[in-house]
Amino acid sequence: MDQATVIERTENFVRDRLAGDATGHDWWHVDRVRALARRLGREEGADLFVVELAALLHDIADWKFHDGDSQAGPRAAAVWLAECNVEEAVIGHVCDIVGTLSFKGSEVPTPMATLEGQVVQDADRLDALGAIGIARAFAYGGHQGREIHNPEIAPEQHDDSEAYRRSDGPTLNHFHEKLLLLKDRMNTEAARQLATGRHSYMKSFVERFRKEWGGES
């Protein structure tokens, strides 16, 4: 099967799999990450076949919806790519990216071993910033039954992945625990430039939110 056909089949597979998702991890999130990853990949000289496959499959079985199982995604991706007769080296590369992509806590390093992994990680993190990132944060928080904000619950800086996964604080805390940290964790220069404006917008939103919460105009 040629690369174009594999990409087309994978796109259709993921679109069907994530249809109707209302958590912010839907097909359109994947499509935006794919577009960003291709853009970054071209600028950085990455293998675009690996980049696009990893971007398409990065949320195919997110640990957040599989009882914290961080290997659910790589397993699902491997099964699918094998069905598409993708060569083993590419399957291994894609699955390694899918398995190590996610943010795991403010004090937990998440290095990516390859340029392709760095590009996809950057693209995924960019989609967690800015106006779309704000919308996604509250969509996921509502889905999980979390409060929008509770001034009596302080944000936490998680020093291990298990603590981060167990966290169920208000959505606004998530901005301080993850989202506002992402700008300085981009791997590529192109992503760092894109992140700057999105970060500033998100920071302004949080400041405005707190003012309104306190009764200011």
Domains in the chain: ranges and CATH: 3-213 (1.10.3210.50)
Q: What is the pLDDT of residues 151-200, one digit of tens each?
A: 999 988 766 666 566 677 899 999 999 999 999 999 999 999 999 999 99
Q: What is the pLDDT of residues 23-73, one digit of tens each?
A: 889 999 999 999 999 999 999 999 999 999 999 999 987 656 455 566 788
The whole-number average pLDDT for the span 212-217 is 86
CA distances (Å), 85 to each of 1, 34, 71, 88, 102, in order? 7, 21, 21, 9, 26
Report d(CA 25, CA 205) in Å as an integer. 22
Count of other CB atoms within 10 angstroms of residue 157:
12
Find the DSSP H helices in 69-149: 72-83, 88-100, 115-126, 130-143
Average pLDDT, the chain: 90
Report d(CA 204, CA 206) in Å as an integer. 5
Specify burial of residue 86 (Cβ count, 10 A radius: 0-12, 13-18, 19+). buried
Q: What is the pLDDT of residues 119-158, one digit of tens each?
A: 999 999 999 999 999 999 999 999 989 999 999 999 887 6
Q: Residue with structure tokens 């619950």?
A: 153
Residue 60's contacts (CB-CB under 8 Å, 6 or more residues apart) are 14, 17, 18, 73, 76, 77, 80, 98
